[in-house]
Amino acid sequence: MKQTLAELMRMSRICRMVFATCLGSFILVIFYFQIMRRNPFVVDGCCRKGSRNALQELYNPTQPELSGAAVLHQARRDQVVDACRVYSASSRKRRVLTPGDLKHLVVDEDHELIYCYVPKVACTNWKRVMMVLTGRGKYSDPMEIPSNEAHVPSNLKTLNQYSIAEINHRLKNYLKFLFVREPFERLVSAYRNKFTLKYNSSFHKRFGTRIVRRYRKNATQEALLNGADVKFKEFAEYLVDPATQRDGPLNEHWQTVYQLCHPCHIHYDMVGKYETLEEDANYVLRLVGVGESLRFPSYAKSTRTTDAMTAQFFSNISTQQQIQLYQLYKLDFLMFNYSIPSYLRLD
Protein backbone atom coordinates (compact mmCIF):
# COMPACT_ATOMS: atom_id res chain seq x y z
CA MET A 1 0.00 0.00 0.00
CA LYS A 2 2.81 2.41 1.00
CA GLN A 3 4.65 1.59 -2.21
CA THR A 4 1.55 2.34 -4.27
CA LEU A 5 1.06 5.67 -2.47
CA ALA A 6 4.68 6.67 -3.03
CA GLU A 7 4.39 5.77 -6.70
CA LEU A 8 1.27 7.94 -7.04
CA MET A 9 3.02 10.88 -5.37
CA ARG A 10 6.01 10.50 -7.68
CA MET A 11 3.74 10.41 -10.74
CA SER A 12 1.90 13.49 -9.44
CA ARG A 13 5.20 15.41 -9.15
CA ILE A 14 6.17 14.39 -12.68
CA CYS A 15 2.80 15.53 -14.04
CA ARG A 16 3.17 18.90 -12.29
CA MET A 17 6.66 19.34 -13.73
CA VAL A 18 5.47 18.46 -17.24
CA PHE A 19 2.53 20.86 -16.87
CA ALA A 20 4.80 23.66 -15.61
CA THR A 21 7.23 23.09 -18.48
CA CYS A 22 4.44 23.17 -21.08
CA LEU A 23 2.89 26.27 -19.52
CA GLY A 24 6.25 28.05 -19.49
CA SER A 25 6.88 27.16 -23.12
CA PHE A 26 3.42 28.41 -24.08
CA ILE A 27 4.02 31.74 -22.28
CA LEU A 28 7.36 32.16 -24.03
CA VAL A 29 5.74 31.56 -27.42
CA ILE A 30 3.02 34.13 -26.66
CA PHE A 31 5.65 36.61 -25.44
CA TYR A 32 7.71 36.10 -28.59
CA PHE A 33 4.82 36.78 -30.91
CA GLN A 34 3.78 39.83 -28.88
CA ILE A 35 7.29 41.27 -29.36
CA MET A 36 7.24 40.49 -33.05
CA ARG A 37 3.84 42.10 -33.45
CA ARG A 38 4.77 45.26 -31.59
CA ASN A 39 8.07 45.94 -33.35
CA PRO A 40 7.33 47.46 -36.78
CA PHE A 41 10.95 47.28 -37.84
CA VAL A 42 11.52 43.52 -37.49
CA VAL A 43 12.33 42.25 -40.96
CA ASP A 44 11.21 38.64 -40.78
CA GLY A 45 8.16 36.92 -39.38
CA CYS A 46 5.78 39.80 -38.68
CA CYS A 47 4.37 40.84 -42.00
CA ARG A 48 1.20 39.69 -43.61
CA LYS A 49 1.61 37.06 -46.27
CA GLY A 50 5.36 36.92 -45.73
CA SER A 51 6.02 40.45 -47.04
CA ARG A 52 7.31 43.62 -45.41
CA ASN A 53 4.82 46.36 -44.70
CA ALA A 54 5.10 50.01 -45.79
CA LEU A 55 6.37 51.17 -42.39
CA GLN A 56 9.31 48.78 -42.51
CA GLU A 57 10.12 49.68 -46.11
CA LEU A 58 10.18 53.38 -45.21
CA TYR A 59 12.61 53.09 -42.31
CA ASN A 60 14.68 50.16 -43.63
CA PRO A 61 14.35 50.27 -47.43
CA THR A 62 15.33 47.16 -49.37
CA GLN A 63 14.76 48.83 -52.73
CA PRO A 64 17.78 50.97 -53.74
CA GLU A 65 15.60 53.59 -55.43
CA LEU A 66 13.84 54.26 -52.11
CA SER A 67 17.01 54.82 -50.06
CA GLY A 68 17.66 58.37 -51.27
CA ALA A 69 14.11 59.49 -50.54
CA ALA A 70 14.38 58.09 -47.02
CA VAL A 71 16.96 60.77 -46.14
CA LEU A 72 14.67 63.55 -47.41
CA HIS A 73 11.70 62.30 -45.43
CA GLN A 74 13.77 61.94 -42.28
CA ALA A 75 14.69 65.62 -42.63
CA ARG A 76 11.02 66.54 -42.98
CA ARG A 77 10.13 64.53 -39.89
CA ASP A 78 12.92 66.23 -37.94
CA GLN A 79 11.63 69.64 -39.02
CA VAL A 80 8.18 68.86 -37.61
CA VAL A 81 9.62 67.54 -34.34
CA ASP A 82 11.84 70.62 -33.88
CA ALA A 83 8.99 73.06 -34.57
CA CYS A 84 6.68 71.21 -32.19
CA ARG A 85 9.34 71.24 -29.48
CA VAL A 86 9.77 75.01 -29.77
CA TYR A 87 6.00 75.55 -29.77
CA SER A 88 5.52 73.27 -26.76
CA ALA A 89 8.19 75.14 -24.81
CA SER A 90 6.56 78.52 -25.51
CA SER A 91 2.92 77.50 -25.06
CA ARG A 92 0.97 76.92 -21.89
CA LYS A 93 -1.70 75.03 -23.78
CA ARG A 94 -1.76 71.29 -23.16
CA ARG A 95 -4.33 68.93 -24.57
CA VAL A 96 -4.98 65.25 -25.10
CA LEU A 97 -6.47 64.09 -28.38
CA THR A 98 -9.93 62.55 -28.39
CA PRO A 99 -11.44 60.28 -31.07
CA GLY A 100 -13.25 63.35 -32.40
CA ASP A 101 -9.88 64.85 -33.35
CA LEU A 102 -9.16 61.90 -35.65
CA LYS A 103 -11.94 62.27 -38.23
CA HIS A 104 -9.48 63.38 -40.93
CA LEU A 105 -7.34 60.25 -40.61
CA VAL A 106 -8.36 57.71 -43.27
CA VAL A 107 -7.45 54.07 -42.53
CA ASP A 108 -6.44 51.38 -45.03
CA GLU A 109 -6.42 48.06 -43.17
CA ASP A 110 -5.17 45.98 -46.09
CA HIS A 111 -1.96 48.00 -46.56
CA GLU A 112 -1.62 49.27 -42.96
CA LEU A 113 -1.82 52.96 -43.90
CA ILE A 114 -3.24 56.05 -42.23
CA TYR A 115 -3.66 59.17 -44.38
CA CYS A 116 -4.62 62.53 -42.88
CA TYR A 117 -6.39 64.47 -45.60
CA VAL A 118 -5.94 68.23 -45.87
CA PRO A 119 -8.43 70.03 -48.15
CA LYS A 120 -6.84 71.93 -51.04
CA VAL A 121 -3.80 69.64 -51.01
CA ALA A 122 -4.89 67.08 -53.63
CA CYS A 123 -7.16 65.42 -51.10
CA THR A 124 -9.79 64.47 -53.70
CA ASN A 125 -7.27 62.45 -55.68
CA TRP A 126 -5.80 60.95 -52.52
CA LYS A 127 -9.26 59.85 -51.40
CA ARG A 128 -9.75 58.27 -54.83
CA VAL A 129 -6.45 56.41 -54.42
CA MET A 130 -7.43 55.27 -50.92
CA MET A 131 -10.73 53.96 -52.33
CA VAL A 132 -8.75 51.91 -54.86
CA LEU A 133 -6.44 50.60 -52.11
CA THR A 134 -9.30 49.69 -49.77
CA GLY A 135 -11.79 48.58 -52.43
CA ARG A 136 -10.40 45.04 -52.80
CA GLY A 137 -10.81 45.06 -56.56
CA LYS A 138 -13.93 47.20 -56.76
CA TYR A 139 -11.91 50.04 -58.34
CA SER A 140 -8.75 49.95 -60.45
CA ASP A 141 -8.44 53.50 -61.87
CA PRO A 142 -8.73 56.40 -59.39
CA MET A 143 -9.96 58.79 -62.07
CA GLU A 144 -12.96 56.57 -62.78
CA ILE A 145 -14.28 57.54 -59.34
CA PRO A 146 -16.38 60.76 -59.52
CA SER A 147 -15.03 63.53 -57.29
CA ASN A 148 -18.28 63.79 -55.31
CA GLU A 149 -18.17 60.06 -54.58
CA ALA A 150 -14.66 60.40 -53.18
CA HIS A 151 -16.03 62.75 -50.51
CA VAL A 152 -18.87 60.48 -49.37
CA PRO A 153 -17.92 59.71 -45.72
CA SER A 154 -19.12 56.09 -45.83
CA ASN A 155 -16.73 55.22 -48.68
CA LEU A 156 -13.69 55.43 -46.42
CA LYS A 157 -13.17 54.49 -42.79
CA THR A 158 -11.62 57.06 -40.46
CA LEU A 159 -9.67 56.48 -37.27
CA ASN A 160 -12.31 58.00 -34.98
CA GLN A 161 -14.57 55.03 -35.80
CA TYR A 162 -12.34 52.61 -33.83
CA SER A 163 -12.09 51.86 -30.12
CA ILE A 164 -9.33 53.51 -28.07
CA ALA A 165 -7.28 50.29 -28.07
CA GLU A 166 -7.71 49.89 -31.84
CA ILE A 167 -6.74 53.52 -32.40
CA ASN A 168 -3.55 53.14 -30.37
CA HIS A 169 -2.62 49.92 -32.17
CA ARG A 170 -3.00 51.52 -35.60
CA LEU A 171 -1.16 54.70 -34.65
CA LYS A 172 1.74 52.55 -33.44
CA ASN A 173 1.91 50.00 -36.26
CA TYR A 174 0.59 51.65 -39.45
CA LEU A 175 2.45 54.04 -41.73
CA LYS A 176 0.99 57.51 -41.14
CA PHE A 177 1.32 60.20 -43.79
CA LEU A 178 -0.08 63.56 -44.83
CA PHE A 179 0.43 66.07 -47.64
CA VAL A 180 0.95 69.78 -47.04
CA ARG A 181 1.13 72.96 -49.11
CA GLU A 182 2.50 76.49 -48.80
CA PRO A 183 -0.06 77.86 -46.30
CA PHE A 184 -1.04 81.04 -48.14
CA GLU A 185 -1.30 79.31 -51.51
CA ARG A 186 -3.64 76.82 -49.86
CA LEU A 187 -5.63 79.66 -48.30
CA VAL A 188 -6.04 81.53 -51.59
CA SER A 189 -6.92 78.28 -53.34
CA ALA A 190 -9.69 77.71 -50.80
CA TYR A 191 -10.98 81.26 -51.26
CA ARG A 192 -11.01 80.96 -55.05
CA ASN A 193 -12.77 77.62 -54.96
CA LYS A 194 -15.37 78.37 -52.32
CA PHE A 195 -16.18 82.04 -52.94
CA THR A 196 -15.56 82.83 -56.62
CA LEU A 197 -17.25 79.86 -58.28
CA LYS A 198 -21.01 79.99 -58.77
CA TYR A 199 -21.62 76.30 -58.10
CA ASN A 200 -20.47 76.58 -54.47
CA SER A 201 -23.73 78.18 -53.36
CA SER A 202 -23.74 76.19 -50.11
CA PHE A 203 -20.54 77.96 -49.01
CA HIS A 204 -21.96 81.30 -50.16
CA LYS A 205 -25.02 80.76 -47.99
CA ARG A 206 -23.21 79.32 -44.98
CA PHE A 207 -20.15 81.58 -44.84
CA GLY A 208 -20.54 84.28 -47.50
CA THR A 209 -23.71 85.80 -46.05
CA ARG A 210 -22.13 85.91 -42.57
CA ILE A 211 -18.97 87.58 -43.91
CA VAL A 212 -20.89 90.17 -45.92
CA ARG A 213 -23.15 90.96 -42.95
CA ARG A 214 -20.20 91.48 -40.60
CA TYR A 215 -17.65 93.25 -42.74
CA ARG A 216 -19.32 95.06 -45.64
CA LYS A 217 -20.72 98.51 -45.16
CA ASN A 218 -23.86 99.37 -47.10
CA ALA A 219 -24.20 95.80 -48.43
CA THR A 220 -26.99 95.25 -50.94
CA GLN A 221 -29.92 93.02 -50.08
CA GLU A 222 -28.80 90.60 -52.79
CA ALA A 223 -25.33 90.30 -51.26
CA LEU A 224 -26.81 89.83 -47.79
CA LEU A 225 -29.15 87.15 -49.12
CA ASN A 226 -26.76 85.21 -51.38
CA GLY A 227 -23.22 85.96 -50.09
CA ALA A 228 -21.89 85.13 -53.55
CA ASP A 229 -19.38 87.96 -54.04
CA VAL A 230 -17.15 87.86 -50.94
CA LYS A 231 -13.95 89.87 -51.46
CA PHE A 232 -10.61 88.41 -50.33
CA LYS A 233 -10.14 91.39 -48.00
CA GLU A 234 -13.45 90.52 -46.30
CA PHE A 235 -12.47 86.85 -46.10
CA ALA A 236 -9.15 87.81 -44.47
CA GLU A 237 -10.96 90.05 -41.97
CA TYR A 238 -13.27 87.16 -41.10
CA LEU A 239 -10.34 84.79 -40.48
CA VAL A 240 -8.46 87.11 -38.09
CA ASP A 241 -11.53 88.35 -36.23
CA PRO A 242 -11.56 87.03 -32.61
CA ALA A 243 -15.32 86.56 -33.00
CA THR A 244 -14.63 83.90 -35.64
CA GLN A 245 -12.47 81.98 -33.18
CA ARG A 246 -15.26 82.16 -30.61
CA ASP A 247 -17.71 80.73 -33.15
CA GLY A 248 -15.79 77.44 -33.10
CA PRO A 249 -13.13 75.69 -35.22
CA LEU A 250 -12.46 77.06 -38.69
CA ASN A 251 -13.89 75.22 -41.67
CA GLU A 252 -11.59 72.39 -42.79
CA HIS A 253 -10.81 74.13 -46.10
CA TRP A 254 -8.98 76.97 -44.34
CA GLN A 255 -8.22 75.36 -41.00
CA THR A 256 -4.50 74.96 -40.24
CA VAL A 257 -2.82 71.60 -40.84
CA TYR A 258 -1.74 71.78 -37.20
CA GLN A 259 -5.39 71.65 -36.12
CA LEU A 260 -6.57 69.17 -38.77
CA CYS A 261 -3.89 66.48 -38.44
CA HIS A 262 -2.29 67.22 -35.03
CA PRO A 263 1.33 66.59 -36.09
CA CYS A 264 2.60 67.61 -32.66
CA HIS A 265 0.58 64.79 -31.09
CA ILE A 266 0.74 62.18 -33.86
CA HIS A 267 4.10 61.10 -35.25
CA TYR A 268 3.72 61.14 -39.03
CA ASP A 269 6.15 58.82 -40.76
CA MET A 270 5.99 60.73 -44.02
CA VAL A 271 5.23 64.34 -44.92
CA GLY A 272 4.51 64.78 -48.62
CA LYS A 273 4.40 68.19 -50.29
CA TYR A 274 2.07 69.63 -52.91
CA GLU A 275 5.10 71.15 -54.63
CA THR A 276 6.46 67.63 -55.27
CA LEU A 277 3.07 65.94 -55.30
CA GLU A 278 3.44 63.23 -57.92
CA GLU A 279 6.94 62.28 -56.82
CA ASP A 280 5.99 62.03 -53.14
CA ALA A 281 2.64 60.35 -53.80
CA ASN A 282 4.14 57.66 -56.00
CA TYR A 283 6.84 57.13 -53.37
CA VAL A 284 4.07 56.20 -50.91
CA LEU A 285 2.59 53.80 -53.44
CA ARG A 286 5.99 52.15 -53.97
CA LEU A 287 6.38 51.74 -50.21
CA VAL A 288 3.01 50.00 -50.16
CA GLY A 289 4.12 47.71 -52.98
CA VAL A 290 1.57 48.81 -55.59
CA GLY A 291 3.77 51.25 -57.51
CA GLU A 292 3.74 49.10 -60.63
CA SER A 293 -0.04 48.81 -60.85
CA LEU A 294 -1.26 52.13 -59.41
CA ARG A 295 -0.08 55.65 -60.19
CA PHE A 296 -1.16 58.87 -58.54
CA PRO A 297 -3.38 60.94 -60.90
CA SER A 298 -1.89 63.97 -62.60
CA TYR A 299 -3.45 67.31 -61.76
CA ALA A 300 -4.38 70.31 -63.91
CA LYS A 301 -1.47 72.72 -63.47
CA SER A 302 -3.21 75.39 -65.55
CA THR A 303 -5.88 76.01 -62.91
CA ARG A 304 -3.82 75.71 -59.72
CA THR A 305 -3.20 78.66 -57.45
CA THR A 306 0.38 79.87 -57.87
CA ASP A 307 2.73 81.98 -55.76
CA ALA A 308 2.30 84.94 -58.14
CA MET A 309 -1.48 84.64 -57.89
CA THR A 310 -1.28 84.49 -54.10
CA ALA A 311 0.92 87.60 -54.02
CA GLN A 312 -1.70 89.45 -56.06
CA PHE A 313 -4.47 88.60 -53.59
CA PHE A 314 -2.31 89.58 -50.60
CA SER A 315 -1.51 92.95 -52.19
CA ASN A 316 -5.17 93.86 -51.68
CA ILE A 317 -5.16 93.48 -47.88
CA SER A 318 -3.60 95.68 -45.22
CA THR A 319 -0.24 95.13 -43.56
CA GLN A 320 -2.04 94.44 -40.29
CA GLN A 321 -4.15 91.71 -41.91
CA GLN A 322 -1.03 90.17 -43.46
CA ILE A 323 0.66 90.06 -40.05
CA GLN A 324 -2.43 88.56 -38.41
CA LEU A 325 -2.79 85.92 -41.11
CA TYR A 326 0.86 84.96 -40.78
CA GLN A 327 0.40 84.56 -37.01
CA LEU A 328 -2.63 82.34 -37.64
CA TYR A 329 -0.73 80.03 -40.00
CA LYS A 330 2.74 80.46 -38.49
CA LEU A 331 3.00 76.92 -37.13
CA ASP A 332 2.24 75.47 -40.57
CA PHE A 333 5.02 77.59 -42.05
CA LEU A 334 7.50 76.46 -39.39
CA MET A 335 6.59 72.77 -39.16
CA PHE A 336 6.76 72.17 -42.90
CA ASN A 337 9.73 74.42 -43.65
CA TYR A 338 8.01 77.09 -45.74
CA SER A 339 9.81 80.43 -45.76
CA ILE A 340 8.06 83.75 -45.16
CA PRO A 341 6.77 84.89 -48.60
CA SER A 342 8.72 87.75 -50.16
CA TYR A 343 5.50 89.71 -50.82
CA LEU A 344 4.54 89.76 -47.14
CA ARG A 345 4.82 93.09 -45.32
CA LEU A 346 5.65 92.18 -41.73
CA ASP A 347 7.31 95.44 -40.61
Q: What is the DSSP string of 186-243?
A: HHHHHHHHHHS-TT-HHHIIIIIHHHHHHH-TT--HHHHHH-----HHHHHHHHH-HH
Same domain, 119 and 228: no
Same domain, 204 and 311: yes
The pLDDT value given to residue 37: 36
The pLDDT value given to residue 45: 30
In this structure, which amino acid lies at residue 314? F
CA distances from 55 to 119, 304, 305, 319 (A): 25, 32, 33, 44
- Residue 28 forms part of a structural domain: no
The pLDDT value given to residue 9: 54
The pLDDT value given to residue 300: 66
- Residue 80 forms part of a structural domain: yes
The pLDDT value given to residue 10: 58
For residues 336 and 80, the answer to whether their CB atoms sit within 8 Å is: yes
Same domain, 62 and 149: yes
**The model's pTM:** 0.83
Same domain, 132 and 172: yes
Residue ranges for the chain with pLDDT beneath 70: 1-51, 92, 300-302
- Total number of domains constituting the chain: 2
Q: Which domain holds residue 245?
A: 185-252+305-336
Q: What's the CA gap between 222 and 233, in Å, rounded? A: 19
- Angle at which helix 319-335 crosses helix 183-195, to 10 degrees, equals 120
Q: Name which of 115, 113, 95 is nearest 104 in CA terms.
A: 115
The pLDDT value given to residue 19: 52
Measured at the CA of 198, the angle between CA 196 and CA 200, to 5 degrees, comes to 85
For residues 254 and 329, the answer to whether their CB atoms sit within 8 Å is: no
